[in-house]
Amino acid sequence: MSAGAGEGRRRSRRSGGHGANTRGAGGAVRQLPWEIPRNSDAPTEPLTPEQVQAVHGGAMRVLEEIGIEFLNDEARGVLAAAGCQVQPGASNVRMDRGLVMEKVALVPSSFTITPRNPERRIVIGDGHMVFGNVSSPPNCADLDRGRRPGTRDSFQDLMKLTQHFNCIHFSGGYPVEPVDLHASVRHLDCLYDKLTLTDKVSHAYSLGPERVEDAMEMVRIAAGLSHEEFESTPRMYTNINSSSPLKHDWPMLDGAMRLARRGQPVIVTPFTLAGAMAPVTLAGAVTQSVAEALAAIVLLQCVRPGVPCAMGSFTSNVDMRTGSPAFGTPEYIRATQMSGQMARFYGLPLRASNACAANTPDSQSAWESAFSLWAAVSSGVNMVYHAAGWLEGGLCASYEKFVMDCETLQQIIVYMKPVPASADDIAVDAIAEVGPDGHFFGCQHTQARYENAFYQPFLSDWSNFESWQERGAIETPQRANRIWKQVLADFQAPPLDEAVSEELAAFVERRKREGGAPTDF
Amino acid sequence: MSAGAGEGRRRSRRSGGHGANTRGAGGAVRQLPWEIPRNSDAPTEPLTPEQVQAVHGGAMRVLEEIGIEFLNDEARGVLAAAGCQVQPGASNVRMDRGLVMEKVALVPSSFTITPRNPERRIVIGDGHMVFGNVSSPPNCADLDRGRRPGTRDSFQDLMKLTQHFNCIHFSGGYPVEPVDLHASVRHLDCLYDKLTLTDKVSHAYSLGPERVEDAMEMVRIAAGLSHEEFESTPRMYTNINSSSPLKHDWPMLDGAMRLARRGQPVIVTPFTLAGAMAPVTLAGAVTQSVAEALAAIVLLQCVRPGVPCAMGSFTSNVDMRTGSPAFGTPEYIRATQMSGQMARFYGLPLRASNACAANTPDSQSAWESAFSLWAAVSSGVNMVYHAAGWLEGGLCASYEKFVMDCETLQQIIVYMKPVPASADDIAVDAIAEVGPDGHFFGCQHTQARYENAFYQPFLSDWSNFESWQERGAIETPQRANRIWKQVLADFQAPPLDEAVSEELAAFVERRKREGGAPTDF
């Protein structure tokens, strides 16, 4: 888990720390210092041990009797060689539980990912929980400009927010799809922006060999690594979604295998909306999700035994009258908890999301997101995708929601810290000293602790009504609006060696000249 | 736990059921049927067993070595007779842990409260969780009329919402203080309204003998009970707050003893804001809270052994810069969980709240309330006060927040239901039937279940952005505004025998003639 001696090699002009803790240090927003939180709560377990076995048995029957479609010849070849049942000319692959459990046992229960700034290394698993920005919405919105398709400008804005907030530990997919960049070269500009505007863990979309290879190369260049150093430990990751029910598509498998071969982690996240792409029952939807995730993980363990993988949970329900997906619902919480039980059963790290269905950063968005975060904490989730900025079931990245979510993420981080309960904390002496007629503010026990006793929010307004009204009765989204503007106005990109920056730019230039990635349009 | 043969005696003109489930039955709002939910989750326990013992030890030291002020001669007399150390002329009472544990052991671990409609009986304890309306704010607010002091009109409005929503199981204190009613007779009009506009469990403020006795008498009359029947089982309750630190005031003790003597339950809720009225450390604040609660419970068990009591948790933190109380914070959640551990240690039911500090029903109010509800669920709370309508740290009852809270309470109720995970739920056959190219909506497994598969919200909007925009881009508080208006427009009071109604009115009239309750102003 050491950062590797070679990593600092080309950082001679780095100007030092990255200002992780801006509390009181001139930053736009008082915030918590960078840290990788650890969740000490026992997970909530709606399934009995027998039911866990039954879900496992169901998933094994899916893999053994029904099979999964692998729409990728190379993947099927790998699986056939490993002993799976593959029929020539057909995409269906069946695998028996012995093989599945043998391969799944190879997955490390936790792993690190080290970005270009090794101080931003994250841990996936081992009780830790890390948060990433919203990924992949086609639209963005803010209170001033309304809702609009994403552009490079808004992409950069959201990457700056991603970098600024210490509670965002990694960068997921594009926080908004910049449709003003042609799809053939979009990944080059986006990766360049991600790697220069942030120094946090980055991600590659598994959307074609060129994009995947370019992303790995750019992450390598940005970190000043040799190819060997790049492959020596996880530096980035990809997330693949099955095409539920029961299908893994070509580009996702291709990208996952490319990363796996170079020792880079793959998160496998079936998108199993109960009643649509999965059974209407939560137990059925989770069973199918588990089967789909394990199938891809088996493939990746065949490609490179021991490569880091995580299981993703994206099981939720739909509105059965309209088909609209729902998030942060009672069903979503339970499905995530059940997925957590299954992930622990297989010894796999778990990914989930901070999702909501609301169309605007109002109270519905807040309770749906709070329930999604509750799901994450109570399920022992290790990696929370879409942790800040998500609206509309993922179709919109909201600037204000991003800030609101960072407020609640900070609260979750504080929540997860152990509660001290020593004799000194139990404070009988202070209770005796203050007595029935006193007040605790003045006593020594309080004075010694008050500055750091409690979490101080940067967005919540705890003032009384009169004072709140005097200051203009500003509601939460409007306060968030002010904050993101301040963050963007104050933004300074993290240090990057000029030679590295030039090498990255030259790579982008060359690959653009070569045409980037092929597109269908 | 039977309703008692005499209870129907004077209900000959009751027009039947109370329309508990208005789903699709012409009610203003599709809602869940009346039910007393049960929380099957294992509680989250931040304290180790040794730390539970240490907090207990601290609370016992407070009771043994520091003592609690009982500002009530009668209470001190009772405690002295039971063996507590009481000095003549001083209000301090010390009690040793042997006595405390002996008395606390008399408290039933669960009990019922049966209001005038026995179908609205609630259970406190035994894994159940019940919700009550916001209590005691001086102000109310809605989007049309803004924030204003409470009046009888708004009091009645909020009682109608309390009655309408099946997720509100009991009526707490006044949902807003009607300041247009003179304090001497306010309780008479309020109780009359409560007992005629709702048929749910009611509460008496422990604010002077007259108010307490009048409340008990009116509850008895409304239920058509003899005095013996009234006392045969819990019919109502009171909640008392200690005057932290370490003090129980005269009227609270007087009211609590009056109810206890007649077998009516008392909730004892210290109001221990860490850093203000209690130690700045959560462990210290919980220790003090436990000591204060146990002290009153010991008194009540001396007054009437076995009388139902519950411990209340109201430990939260303050903003150390301004002194403003905060709710729904990480500290609030942890303090509630620790209180839950202590309540289970003593075998006592636990009360907490759905609290927030926000000044308006915006996103902050929603995440703070969601975190408070998370606290309740993860702490094994049995009784959630202020579950709907609370804003501003309790200084304002919001009509819209009431509706928003009922939406999230319904979701919590659904969340608490066990998740089915039989072989049929695991649904391997349905997965096989649908296969990789199908969709689950059409399959028999879905068709047989879809109508009741998932919770359907009445307030959340899950439509896509375009459809939401076409319908006017209505944000959640505005949708809630429409709903409460519809509920009030459609409201029908629950059936009440006319003779009972007349008897109640005559009682109010007589007591008003007598001057009601003495006031200080």
- 3-class secondary structure, B149: strand
Buried b (16+ CB within 10 A) or exposed e, A341-369: bbbbbbebbbbbbbbbbbbbbbbbbbbbb
pLDDT tens for each residue of B411-453: 999 999 999 999 999 999 999 999 999 999 999 999 999 888 9
Question: Chain A residues with CB inside 8 Å of B66's CB?
Answer: 428, 431-432, 435
Q: What percent of chain B stands above pLDDT 90?
A: 92
Lowest mean pLDDT among A8-22, A416-430, A491-505, B57-71: A8-22
pLDDT tens for each residue of B263-292: 999 999 999 999 999 999 999 999 999 999
pLDDT of B17 > 50? The answer is: no
Is the Cβ of B365 closer than 8 Å to some Cβ of chain A? yes
pLDDT of B2 > 60? The answer is: no
DSSP letter at A149?
E
- Residue A246 to residue B276, Cβ atoms within 8 A: no
Residues 6+ apart with CB under 8 A from B106: B301, B305, B306
pLDDT of B493 > 80? The answer is: yes
Residue A520 confidence class, pLDDT cut points 50, 70, 90: low
pLDDT of B12 > 50? The answer is: no
Q: How many CB atoms lie within 10 A of CB B469?
A: 14
Distance CA B245, CA B393 (A): 20
- Residue A363 to residue B359, Cβ atoms within 8 A: no
**Mean pLDDT (whole number) for A240-244:** 96
Q: What is the dihedral of CA B468, B471, B472, B474, to 10 degrees?
A: -60
Chain A CA closest to residue B408 = A367
Q: Which of A420, A412, A385 is nearest to A39 (CA)?
A: A412
Output the pLDDT for position A28: 58
HSE, CB side, 13 Å, CA atoms: give it for residue A469: 8
Structure tokens of B301? Answer: 């068990």
The strand pairing partners of A128, in sequence order, are A38
pLDDT tens for each residue of B301-341: 999 999 999 999 999 999 988 889 999 999 999 999 999 99
Mark which residues 163-192 of B lie under 8 Å from A by CB.
none
**Mean pLDDT (whole number) for A259-283:** 97
Buried b (16+ CB within 10 A) or exposed e, B129-148: bbbbbbbbbbbbbbbeeebe
Distance CA B251, CA B92 (A): 17
Q: What percent of chain B stands above pLDDT 70?
A: 94
Question: Chain B residues with CB inside 8 Å of A322's CB?
Answer: 462-463
**Mean pLDDT (whole number) for A317-321:** 89
- Residue A428 to residue B66, Cβ atoms within 8 A: yes
Output the pLDDT for position B498: 97
Residue showing tokens 């003639």: B513
- 3-class secondary structure, A123: strand
Is the Cβ of B433 closer than 8 Å to some Cβ of chain A? no
pLDDT tens for each residue of A52-110: 999 999 999 999 999 999 999 999 999 999 999 999 999 999 999 999 999 999 999 99
DSSP letter at A205?
-
Q: Which of A297, A348, A339, A302 is nearest to A111 (CA)?
A: A348
- Element holding A457 (H helix, E strand): none
Structure tokens of A99? Answer: 């093989």
Question: Chain A residues with CB inside 8 Å of B428's CB?
Answer: 58, 61-62, 65-66, 284, 287
* Closest CB to B62 among A370, A431, A445: A431
Q: Would strands A68-70 and A92-94 be described as parallel, antiparallel, or unpaired?
A: antiparallel
Output the pLDDT for position B4: 37
pLDDT of B214 > 90? The answer is: yes
Q: How many CB atoms lie within 10 A of CB B105?
A: 10
pLDDT of A4 > 70? The answer is: no
- 3-class secondary structure, B5: helix
Residue B152 confidence class, pLDDT cut points 50, 70, 90: very high
Residue B68 confidence class, pLDDT cut points 50, 70, 90: very high
Output the pLDDT for position B11: 37
Question: Chain B residues with CB inside 8 Å of A46's CB?
Answer: 40-41, 418-419
Given a contact cutoff of 8 angstroms between Cβ atoms, the answer to whether A32 and A21 are in contact is: yes
Structure tokens of A377? Answer: 């904490």
Given a contact cutoff of 8 angstroms between Cβ atoms, the answer to whether B266 and B309 are in contact is: yes
Q: How many CB atoms lie within 10 A of CB B158?
A: 28
Is the Cβ of B37 closer than 8 Å to some Cβ of chain A? no
Structure tokens of B49? Answer: 């067993």
- A311-325, B6-20, B439-453, B501-515 — which one is most confidently predicted on average? B501-515
pLDDT tens for each residue of A467-518: 999 999 999 999 999 999 999 999 999 999 999 999 999 999 999 999 999 8
Query: Percentages helix, strand, coil for chain A, rounded to the nearest 5?
Result: 45, 15, 40
Question: How many DSSP H helices and E strands does chain A contain?
Answer: 19, 19
- Residue A334 to residue B41, Cβ atoms within 8 A: no
Given a contact cutoff of 8 angstroms between Cβ atoms, the answer to whether A273 and A257 are in contact is: no
Whole-number mean pLDDT of chain A? 94
Is the Cβ of B247 closer than 8 Å to some Cβ of chain A? yes
**Mean pLDDT (whole number) for A2-31:** 42
Mark which residues 56-115 of B lie under 8 Å from A by CB.
57-58, 61-62, 65-66, 68-69, 92
* Closest CB to B419 among A320, A338, A407: A338
What DSSP assignment string belongs to A278-304? B-SSHHHHHHHHHHHHHHHHHHHHHHS
pLDDT of A14 > 90? The answer is: no
Buried b (16+ CB within 10 A) or exposed e, A35-66: ebbebebebbbbbeeebbebbbebbbbbbbeb
- Residue A326 to residue B54, Cβ atoms within 8 A: no
Chain B CA closest to residue A449 = B280
Amino acid letter, residue B217: E
Structure tokens of A149? Answer: 């398709």
pLDDT of B20 > 90? The answer is: no
pLDDT of A5 > 50? The answer is: no
Q: How far is CA A236 from CA A114, A128, A209, A299, A413, in A?
A: 7, 18, 16, 19, 23
Structure tokens of A222? Answer: 């940005």
* Closest CB to B428 among A61, A418, A462: A61
Given a contact cutoff of 8 angstroms between Cβ atoms, the answer to whether A151 and A182 are in contact is: no
Lowest mean pLDDT among A302-311, B12-21, B180-189, B506-515: B12-21
Question: How many DSSP H helices and E strands does chain B contain?
Answer: 19, 19
Is the Cβ of A331 closer than 8 Å to some Cβ of chain B? yes
Distance CA B84, CA B100 (A): 10
Output the pLDDT for position B519: 82
Residue showing tokens 């992949």: A136
Given a contact cutoff of 8 angstroms between Cβ atoms, the answer to whether B417 and B453 are in contact is: no
Is the Cβ of A117 closer than 8 Å to some Cβ of chain B? no
The strand pairing partners of B230, in sequence order, are none
pLDDT of A17 > 50? The answer is: no
Q: How far is CA B400 from CA B20, B100, B367, B463, B505, in A?
A: 22, 44, 15, 21, 31
* Closest CB to B277 among A418, A440, A454: A440
**Mean pLDDT (whole number) for A320-326:** 89
What DSSP assignment string belongs to B285-345? HHHHHHHHHHHHHHHHHHHSTT--EEEE---EEB-TTT--B--SSHHHHHHHHHHHHHHHH
- Residue B432 to residue A66, Cβ atoms within 8 A: yes
Residue scoring higher pLDDT (A2 or B85): B85
- Residue B423 to residue A54, Cβ atoms within 8 A: yes
Distance CA B440, CA B420 (A): 19
pLDDT tens for each residue of B30-65: 899 999 999 999 999 999 999 999 999 999 999 999
Q: Which of A269, A266, A271, A276 is nearest to A301 (CA)?
A: A266
Question: Chain B residues with CB inside 8 Å of A324's CB?
Answer: 462-464
Mutation test of the interface with chain A: which of B364, B371, B408, B409, choosing the one with the most A Cβ atoms within 10 A? B364
pLDDT of B13 > 60? The answer is: no
Mutation test of the interface with chain B: which of A47, A280, A446, choosing the one with the most B Cβ atoms within 10 A? A280
- Residue B331 to residue A454, Cβ atoms within 8 A: yes
Structure tokens of B318? Answer: 């303050």
| Strand segments (E) across B214-286 | 236-240, 247-248, 266-268, 273-274
Count Cβ atoms within 10 A of the Cβ of residue B197 and give its class: 0-12 exposed, 13-18 middle, 19 or more buried. buried
HSE, CB side, 13 Å, CA atoms: give it for residue B87: 8
Given a contact cutoff of 8 angstroms between Cβ atoms, the answer to whether A458 and B289 are in contact is: no
Query: Percentages helix, strand, coil for chain B, rounded to the nearest 5?
Result: 45, 15, 40
- 3-class secondary structure, A70: strand
* Closest CB to A427 among B281, B449, B475: B281
pLDDT of B467 > 50? The answer is: yes
- The ipTM (two decimal places) reads 0.94
- Residue A396 to residue B423, Cβ atoms within 8 A: no
pLDDT of A206 > 90? The answer is: yes
Output the pLDDT for position B27: 53
Given a contact cutoff of 8 angstroms between Cβ atoms, the answer to whether B326 and A454 are in contact is: yes
A137 Cα to chain B: minimum distance (Å): 13
Mark which residues 120-149 of A lie under 8 Å from B by CB.
139, 147
pLDDT of A521 > 90? The answer is: no
